[in-house]
Structure 1
Amino acid sequence: MASNGAGRSVSQNTFGDYAQVIQGDYNAPVHPPKKTLELDYLHEATFNATNKQHAPSCLENTRVQVLNQIRSWIDGDGEKRIYWLRGMAGTGKTTISITIAREYYKKRRLGAKSVAAYREHLQDALDSSPTITSRSLYDQWEKLILDPLQATSLEDDVQPMLIVVDALDECDSEYDQGVLIQYLAELSALEKIRFRIFITSRQENAIHLGLDRLTSYSRQDFTLHDIEESIVAADLRLHYRHELAGMDIDQSLITEETINILAGKSDRLFIHAATVCRFIRQGEIYAVNRLQNVLASQDSQLELERELYSIYTTVLKTAFAKFASLRPGETETLRMSYQKVVGSIVMLYDRMSPTDFATLVGEPVENVTRLLKHLSSVLDVPQEASGQIYVLHASFRDFLSDPQRSSSLHFSIDHRKIHANLFQRCVDIMAIELRKNICRLREPGKRTNDISASDVDNHVSQTLQ
C-alpha cells in the first residue's frame, strides 16, 4: 500500500501485481514544523501510470449503455455503493474501467486526492503512529485509510467519490481477494464521505462468495457479456473501422463486408478485436496478407473464446514461420528456448526488464529479445532496456497453460517443467549472489524494516530481489 521515505514497507504489493487499485495519487503535504513522512505507493497500480499511458479508452459512441449506467450509479444517491462489472476474459472490462477512471479523475472525484481534510488527518495519523509501517495489514488499513476518512467531513452537496479496482481476479490468492472485498465494504459503509466502489473481474467463485456476503441492497452487478449481441457487434464494427482507417492499407479493401466478417469473428470479445488489429498493424508491408489470413480463418465457433484462441494460434504460427529454414537440431533448440522464455513469462506474475528476466531464466538476453520481438502482438516487449516484459492479456496465459486450448504441442506450456526450472534458477542465483551483510550495514542488528530501499537497490540485484 505505501512506504515511507526510509523504505519501510506498508505493504509490498499485498494484493498482487495485476490487481489494480485505481485511485487518485496522494502525497502527504508539508505542515511545518511537523516532519512529513512522505508516502509512496505502487506506481503501476494507478490508472495513469506509465505502463498504462497507451491503454485505450472506449471509442466515442461505443459501450454507451454500460457507461451511462455506471455514470448514473456513481452520480446517483442510491444505497448500492459497490458495483461489480463482471465478464469473461476479453470482453472489455479494463477498457471500461480506465475510461471511467480517466473521466472522474478530471472531475477530481477519483479517490480522496481532492479532499484536503483527509490529507491532514492522514498526516496526523503518521505523526502519531511512526511505527505504523511495521504493523499488520489491517492496522495499516485502519490507521491510514479508515480512521482519517472517518474523521473527515465534507459539505452535504459534495458528490460521491469513486474508487476503481480493476481485475480483482488477478490477485495473487483467493484469500487476498476476500480481504480486499472486506476492506472495500468497510470503506463503502462510511457515512461522512460517500464512496462508490467500482470493481471489475472475471466471474471467479471466490469473488462471488466474497461479494455474496454483502447484502444485495449494498451492491449492483452487471454481466458484461450479457449485453445484447447486436449492440456489441455495432461497437466492434466501429472499433475495426477506426483502427483499420489508421493503417497503411489500401482503404478500398476495407469494405462493409470486411468489417462485418471481422466483427463476427470477434464475437463480443474486444480483446480479440484489439489483438487482430495489433497483429495486422505490426505486419507493416505484409499487413494486407495478415488481414487476408484473418479473414480466411475457418475455425468453428463452438464457444465464445474459440476465435480469440484462433488468433493467438495465428500469431504464434506466424512467429514460428520466420524460423522455417532452421535445421532439425536448431528447431529443437528454438522449441526449448520458447518453452523456457515464453513459458516463464506466462508463469511469472512479476514484470521484469529483458536483462533481469534473461538472468533469471538463464538465457542470453539477445536470445530473449530475438525470440520475443516476433510476439509483440500478445506480449508487451519493451524497446528500451529499462522497460518491462509482460503478458498483454490474461487470456493468453490461459491459452498457453491449457493444452486443450493451445492444441499444438509446440505452443502449449509445460508448467511443471517451467516451475522446476525457475526454482532451480532461483536457488542458483541465491547461491551465487547471497552473502553475509549484503547491504554492507554498519549496524549488524538493524531491523529489515529500517533498511532504506535505496540501500537494497544499490547492493541487491533486481533479479535476486
Structure 2
Amino acid sequence: MATPQSVQTSTIRVIDRTCYLSIGRQREEERLRGLRPSAALFSRLPLNLPRPSSPTFNPSTVSVGHIENGVLGDNYGHIAQQSSYESERDSFKDAINNLVKNMESSSVHDASERSDAPKCMPNTRVKVQEEIMSWIHNGGRKQRGIMWVTGPAGTGKSAVLGSIADTCKMKGLLAGSFCFSPTPHSDERTTKKRLVATLAYQLQEHEGLPDVRRRILSSIDRRPAIFTKNLKEQFSELILNPLREIKQRGPGGSGGAVVPKVIVIDGLDECVAEQYCDSTGDLRAAARPKEGDQREILSVLLRAAKDDTFPFCILLGSRPENAIRHFFTSPDAQDVTQELFLGEQYDPDADITLFYETKLSVVREKFELPETWPAPHEKTTLVKNASGQFVYADTAMRIIEGAPKSGANNSFSLGTPCHRLKRILASGLSVEGSEPLETLDALYTSVLSTCPEPSLTMKWLRAIRGLKVLSSDSPSGEKDAPPWLVRLILESYPGEERHALGALASLLYVPPSTRRSRELGRAYSFYHKAFLDFIQSRDRCGGLYVSTTEAEDFINLRYFQTLKNHFERIVTRKDFVYMRMEYQSGKMFCFSSKKAFKEAQDALLACDVRQWTWFVANSHYAYGGHYIIRMFYAVHQWCPWYQPCRPACNHWRQNMLSVLTASGWKVPTAQQLLQNRFSDDVLYDFHPAGISSRRRS
C-alpha cells in the first residue's frame, strides 16, 4: 500500500487539521485526503479508541479535532482527513443563506453602492480623527463605550465616520458598520429591519473573531425565524449570546489576526419608521414615528455597551435631533456616552481652506489659470461663507469646476471658472453676523435663479421626491419612482427635464436618458441632504417654495397632459411599475381644490379615456381595479351635488363605464351612481366578472 507523505510506518502526524476516523470491518487500508483547514475550529483532543477485539467496540465514525504524533497501530478501516471548513460550510449553508437574505449589504461602509459616499480629504479633519482613533485604541470600551459624533447639517459628520471606518478596516479594528441613508432603490438602508443581521454578518466573517462564526450560525440554524423578532431579541441571540458563550468557555485564539474593537453606525437621524401590512395585506401608516425606532436602536446599543461580554466600543453619528439628544443626556446613558460635537474647537476653517486650495489647484491646471487665481480676499470670503460647513465648500467647488460633459446647458457650465466664482461671491450675504444656513441658502437660491424657470424647477424637484411606486418589498411600502417613469409623467414636451434641471448639475445627479448609457439604471440623486432640507422648508426657500400639495397637483396635471404618450412608451415589462404609482399622501389623481381641478379640466377633456380604461382593465388586476376606483372618484370629486356634473367628469365616467361594461366588468348600479351625486361616502364596486371585489372606495 502506498504510504502518504505525511504517514511514516504506522505513525500519522497531522498538524493544524481536523481528522475524522471511520472504523469499520473492511479490508485494511489507509487514506489521507488533504483539504483546506479552518483555523476557527482547531482543537486538541486525545485519541483513545477501542480496538476491534474490545467489548466496547462499535463500528462508527469518530471525529477527532487534532492529532499530533498519533500511533494508531493496526488499522481495520480507513482514515480520512477532512477540512472542518468544508464540513462547517455544508452544515451551516442554510443559516448563511438566511443571514445574507436578511442583511443589507449596501449599508456597509465600503459597499459598492456607497462608492461616492463622502470621505475626508487627506490632511483634513486630522484633529478630530486623531481624537476618535485615540478613544478606540486607548480603552474607549472600558471608559465610555459609546461615542456620539454630532453637529449641525453639513459639518462633515458622515465624511469623518466614513474615513474612520476605512482606517479601522485597514487595521483590522472594524467589527462592523451600518450607514442609514436614503436611496431610490431600497428603503432597507433607512429602517432598523436589517441592522442586526448586517452587523452579525460582518462579525462572523471577521478573521479576528474565529469562534464567533460557528456560534452565530448555530443560533440562526436553531432559530431561523429570529429575524422576525424585535431588535433586542435579535441582538441578544445573534451577537451578545455568542460573545457571552465564547467568554465563558474561553476563546480559541484569533490565529494571529487583529481583534476588532469598534462598530460604526452613521446617520441614525435618517432612520425612519417601518410600515406594516394589516390583515388584508394593505399597507398602513407606521404605528409610531421614526423617533420610536431610533430610541429602540439606541436602547439596544446602550444595553450592549453596558454588557461586560460585549467587547466593542460603538461609534455613532447623527444630527443633534431632539429625540436622540434627549436619549444621550438621560441619566441611564450619560455615564457610558462621550459626545464629540463638530464645532469650532476642531478649527474647521483650516480644513476648509485646505480643501479649497486642493480643489482650486486642480481647476487652475485644467483651465490653465494663473497661480494668483483666485485672489486672497476671494479665498477668504469663500472660507468665511462656509461658516464651518463642508457642504457649502463642496457645493461651491462643484459650481466652480463646472458641470460634467453630460451636463445641461446652463449659465454656470457655460461660464469660465472665474465667472462662476464671481457669481458665487455675489450671491453671498454680508459675512459678518450672518448665520451658517443663510450663506448656504443664498448659494442655493443663486443656483436656482440661473434656471430658465425657477418655479418649474422647484416643481420638478418636489415631484421627483414625491412620486412613488408601491412596493411590498419595501419596509415603508413604497420607493422612489424610477427616472423613466418620472420623465413619462412630467415631461410635457421633449427636453423639458433638461430645461428644468439643467442648471442644477452641482446639486443634483440627473440620469442620462439614452438607452445605451451604462448609468441608465441610476436614479435621481441629491448630492447633499442639506439641499433637500432647503427645498422642503418654506422659511428657507422664500418665494421659491413649492408645498407638497402644490407638487401633487402638478403631478396630477402632468399625468393628464402627457397621458396620450403613456401607452406607446410603456413596454410590457414596465406596465406593472406604471400601475403602482402613488404619492406618500395616497391621493393619486385627486386635485387638492376646485381651482386646481378647473385648471386641469382642458387636459382631462383631451384624454383618450377609452384607451386608458382598456389599458388599466387589462393590466394587473390587483392594481387595475384600485386605479379605476381611484379615477372614478377623483374626476367627480369637485362636482357640486346641486348641479350637473362637470364636463370632465361626464367625459371620464361615461367612457369608463362604457368600456368596462363591454369588457364584462361589474360596475356601479344606477342607484349607486345617483346616491354618489349627494355623498362621497357611497361604496361602489369595479371588478371583472367572476372575481369578487377586493377593494371599495
TM-score class, shorter: 0.7 to 0.9
Q: How big is the shift at 1:425?
A: 3.3
Q: Equivalent residue for 2:219? A: 125
1:34–1:395: structure 2 CA closer, same or farther, 3 Å change rule?
Answer: closer
Letter in 1 for 2:306: A
Letter in 1 for 2:441: Y
Cα distance per residue 1:298-320 (max 9 Å; x no partner) = 413421211111111122112x1
Q: How big is the shift at 1:416?
A: 3.1
In structure 1, what is the Cα distance between the partners aligned to 2:329 and 2:312? 20
Say if 2:172 and 2:259, in contact at 8 Å, map to a contact too: no
Q: Equivalent residue for 2:333? A: 215
Q: Equivalent residue for 1:161? A: 261
Letter in 1 for 2:345: I
Q: Equivalent residue for 1:20? A: none
1:36–1:370: structure 2 CA closer, same or farther, 3 Å change rule?
Answer: farther
Q: How big is the shift at 1:168?
A: 1.3
Q: Equivalent residue for 1:310? A: 442
TM-score (norm 1): 0.75
Determine which of 261, 266, 271 is the counterpart of 1:171: 271
Structure 2 spans left out of the alignment, 5+ residues: 1-85, 177-202, 273-289, 403-411, 468-477, 513-518, 556-582, 591-611, 625-697
Say if 1:83 and 1:221, in contact at 8 Å, map to a contact too: yes
Secondary structure, aligned partner of 1:51: helix
Matched, 1:344 2:463: yes
Matched, 1:435 2:621: yes
In structure 1, what is the Cα distance between the partners aligned to 2:623 and 2:382? 59
Q: Equivalent residue for 1:279? A: 399
1:388–1:46: structure 2 CA closer, same or farther, 3 Å change rule?
Answer: farther
1:176–1:34: structure 2 CA closer, same or farther, 3 Å change rule?
Answer: closer
Secondary structure, aligned partner of 1:227: helix
Say if 2:385 and 2:436, in contact at 8 Å, map to a contact too: no
1:146–1:356: structure 2 CA closer, same or farther, 3 Å change rule?
Answer: farther
Secondary structure, aligned partner of 1:221: strand
1:180–1:363: structure 2 CA closer, same or farther, 3 Å change rule?
Answer: farther
Larger deviation, residues 196-205 vs 128-137: 128-137
Q: How big is the shift at 1:353?
A: 3.5
Letter in 1 for 2:507: V
Q: Equivalent residue for 1:66? A: 128
Superposition pairs of residues 152-301 of structure 1, within 5 angstroms: 152-153=246-247, 161-172=261-272, 173-213=290-330, 214-227=332-345, 231-247=347-363, 248-249=366-367, 250-252=369-371, 253-282=373-402, 283-284=412-413, 286=415, 287-301=417-431
In structure 2, what is the Cα distance between the partners aligned to 1:371 and 1:148? 55
Say if 1:166 and 1:200, in contact at 8 Å, map to a contact too: yes
User: What RMSD, in angstroms, separates the aligned Cα atoms of the two structures?
Assistant: 3.3
Q: How big is the shift at 1:339?
A: 4.3
Say if 1:345 and 1:391, in contact at 8 Å, map to a contact too: no
1:370–1:120: structure 2 CA closer, same or farther, 3 Å change rule?
Answer: farther
In structure 1, what is the Cα distance between the partners aligned to 2:294 and 2:159? 21
Q: How big is the shift at 1:109?
A: 2.1
Of the two structures, which has the highest relative contact order with CA contacts closer than 8 Å and spacing of 6 or more?
A: 1
Q: Equivalent residue for 1:17? A: none
Say if 1:346 and 1:397, in contact at 8 Å, map to a contact too: no
In structure 1, what is the Cα distance between the partners aligned to 2:87 and 2:508? 39
Secondary structure, aligned partner of 2:539: coil
Structure 1 spans left out of the alignment, 5+ residues: 1-27, 324-330, 439-465
Matched, 1:142 2:236: yes
Q: Equivalent residue for 2:154? A: 90
Indicate the percent of aligned positions where both proteins have the same amino acid. 26
Letter in 2 for 1:44: S
TM-score (norm 2): 0.51
Cα distance per residue 1:426-464 (max 9 Å; x no partner) = 9999x77653599xxxxxxxxxxxxxxxxxxxxxxxxxx
Letter in 1 for 2:210: A
Q: How big is the shift at 1:160?
A: 5.1
1:108–1:426: structure 2 CA closer, same or farther, 3 Å change rule?
Answer: farther
Letter in 2 for 1:126: I
Which has more radius of gyration? 2
In structure 1, what is the Cα distance between the partners aligned to 2:237 and 2:551? 41
Cα distance per residue 1:231-275 (max 9 Å; x no partner) = 221111100011111123414323433322211111111100000
Question: Which structure shows the higher helix fraction?
Answer: 1
Say if 2:465 and 2:480, in contact at 8 Å, map to a contact too: no
Say if 2:155 and 2:391, in contact at 8 Å, map to a contact too: yes
Larger deviation, residues 144-153 vs 85-94: 144-153
Count of residue pairs the alignment pairs up: 394
Say if 2:150 and 2:319, in contact at 8 Å, map to a contact too: yes
Secondary structure, aligned partner of 1:60: coil
Cα distance per residue 1:340-379 (max 9 Å; x no partner) = 4301344579555412444687978964465334323122
